[in-house]
Amino acid sequence: MEKNQYIVALEIGSSKIVGAIAEKTSAGYLSVKHLQEERHLDSVRYGIVQNVENIKSSINRIIKNLEGMIDGRVTQVYLGVSGRSLHSIVNEVNRSVGSNESITRELIDRIIHDASTTPFRNYDTIDIVPQAYYVDKVLTPNPVGQFGSSIKIKVNYIVAKPSLKLNLNRLMTFGIPVKDYIVTPLAVGEQILSESDRELGCMLVDMGAETTTVSIYKNKALVYLNTLPMGGRNITRDIMNGLNQREITAENVKKNINNPLDPSNVSNVVIEDIPAPEAANYINARTGEIIANINQQLADAGIASEEIQSIVLIGGCAHMSGLQQKMAETLKIKVRMGQNPSTLNILNPEINRMEYIEVFSLLAKAAEMIEDGETCIERTAYVDGPTFNGGNYRVPEEGKEPKPARREEPKPKKMSRLERLRNKLSNLISEDDDNEDEQ
């Protein structure tokens, strides 16, 4: 019987770190019921780790807590990559091919792999995403199996400052290797957007604490990705600075105003000694600036707003009261809230929340990437038998049966000289009897 696979993913945001475990059955069924998070301030700025030791300690605690939940040991993790400097650069890769030679998937993979060595000043390439294919200068959705003298692939290089991945590597120095890095916005786009979204034109907007990532899809492909250095915490700080309040107070006020993006209709109430209409003025002004910057990404991508059919909102700030309506009115595009991946069954209702959509998307993407027979967890198996020190004997690997204790065979008893003589005489008599029977 095939073993189930266990997948562990970590997502490091500007306000929290989240780790979760998914279980994948041999039939491909994917479920999750274990999740741990740790909130933090100032250790991660704009998605980039600032205090490596603090975040390393948080990750270590999350891993230990997850291990306690599943009674096993985490052996490797999938780590999400996101942050302020993450963006896409469009480039073209050309290759001549034999006119009598069919274009294969291996050839395309080799071209894309070779493209990964293209250097960019001040940036590291994190991933490469094909955008369009051309065979003999003719656009084609799938070049595999076609014939032509040349192939051109338009690709999106997903790049970031070297410090982004360098500090992620520094985090994982306590013994647990990173199985693979996954670009978080790409995983979310693949897992929560429908094929129709990606074909007709969709803008995925992830509004976090300090960054807002915009991913634009058209004709079934990613055409643009950029990370803006602004998010929900900018709004909170405006209230802090404008009304001379502590951050925790300003955050509480922001979350409890009934309609912060319509100051003229805000109830004239006082929240923690702050008049709601005054706080709403700051919230509305900063949110308007963020929406304007999101709209600017369409122009930077060279796409008209008429080409985008929908905007999908995710992230902690995306749940602010009235934001969905405000964005739809400003950009004249339909806006909806994103939903957790449909391929993932969340068994624990306490963690079935939209704020975890990023780590759930990482788990779903990792489940597609993990090879048969691989797992991120070494489960502890229990074997019935004698107990030692009050507990059952443990086997470190799941399904590995303990070797049975070797039974000592009784050693033959040493015969005396008289007994040996009797045996020899008995054998001689038996041989004579056999010879008589044969005659």
At 247 the three-state DSSP class reads helix
Residue 317 Cα to chain centre, angstroms: 20
Q: Do domains 1-83+162-176+340-403 and 193-338 have the same CATH topology?
A: yes
Residue-level pLDDT at 115:
86
At 380 the three-state DSSP class reads coil
Give me the tens of pLDDT residue by residue for the chain, a chain 439 residues long. 358 999 999 999 888 999 999 999 988 899 999 999 998 877 888 777 888 888 889 999 999 999 999 989 999 999 999 988 999 999 999 999 887 788 999 999 999 988 888 889 999 999 999 999 999 999 999 999 999 899 999 999 999 999 888 888 888 766 789 999 999 999 999 999 999 999 999 999 999 999 999 999 999 999 999 999 999 999 999 999 999 999 999 999 999 998 899 888 888 899 999 999 999 999 999 999 999 999 999 999 999 999 999 999 999 999 999 999 999 999 999 999 999 999 999 999 999 999 999 999 999 999 999 999 999 999 876 555 554 454 444 444 444 444 444 444 445 555 555 555 455 545 544 444 444 444 4
Q: Phi and psi for 357 in degrees, rounded to 5?
A: -60, -30
DSSP per residue, 158-224? EEE-HHHHHHHHHHT-SS--EEEEEEHHHHHHHHHS-HHHHHH-EEEEEE-SS-EEEEEEETTEEEE
Residue-level pLDDT at 384:
55
Tell the residue number behind the tokens 């009050």, with chain if given. 390
Residue-level pLDDT at 307:
96
CA distance 329 to 89: 30
Burial class (CB in 10 A: 0-12, 13-18, 19+), 234: middle
CA distance 268 to 366: 49
- In this structure, which amino acid lies at residue 192? I
Q: What residue spans define the domains of the chain?
A: 1-83+162-176+340-403, 87-160, 193-338
Tell the residue number behind the tokens 């051109």, with chain if given. 152
Element (H, E) at 80: strand 77-81
CA distance 214 to 226: 5
Residue-level pLDDT at 436:
45
CA distance 161 to 166: 9
- In this structure, which amino acid lies at residue 436? E
Helix 276-301 × helix 247-256 angle, to 10°: 80
Instruction: Supply angle C-alpha 267, 268, 274, rounded to 5.
Output: 115
Q: Is 87-160 CATH 3.40.50.300?
A: no
Residue-level pLDDT at 431:
46
Q: Among 184, 223, 210, 207, which residue's Cα sits nearest to residue 86?
A: 184
Helix 276-301 × helix 323-331 angle, to 10°: 40
Residue-level pLDDT at 259:
85
At 95 the three-state DSSP class reads strand
User: What are 218's strand-pairing partners?
Assistant: 221
Q: Which CATH number fits domain 1-83+162-176+340-403: 3.40.50.300, 3.50.50.60, 3.30.420.40, 3.40.720.10?
A: 3.30.420.40
CA distance 433 to 54: 91
Helices H, strands E: what count in the chain?
11, 23
Residue-level pLDDT at 9:
97
Residue-level pLDDT at 265:
85
pLDDT tens per residue across span 364-382: 999 999 999 999 999 876 5
Instruction: For residue 320, give both structure tokens.
Output: 């602010």
Element (H, E) at 421: helix 417-438
Print burial letters for 279-317: b (CB count within 10 Å at least 16), e (below 16): bbbbbbebbeebbeebbebbeebebeeeebebbbbbbbb
- Collect all residues with Cβ–Cβ distance below 8 Å to 169 and sequence separation of at least 6: 178
At 353 the three-state DSSP class reads coil
Instruction: For residue 232, give both structure tokens.
Output: 């929900």
> Model's pTM, two decimal places?
0.84
CA distance 288 to 331: 11
Residue-level pLDDT at 65:
95
- In this structure, which amino acid lies at residue 301? A
Instruction: For residue 150, give both structure tokens.
Output: 């040349």
Give Dmax over CA atoms of the chain in angstroms. 126
Strands 202-207 and 87-96 turn out to be unpaired
Note whether 266 and 274 are within 8 A (CB): no
Note whether 186 and 204 are within 8 A (CB): no
Note whether 252 and 239 are within 8 A (CB): no
Q: Among 116, 114, 135, which residue's Cα sits nearest to residue 125?
A: 116
Task: Name the superfamily (CATH) of residues 193-338.
Answer: ATPase, nucleotide binding domain (3.30.420.40)
Residue-level pLDDT at 240:
95
Tell the residue number behind the tokens 């803008």, with chain if given. 203
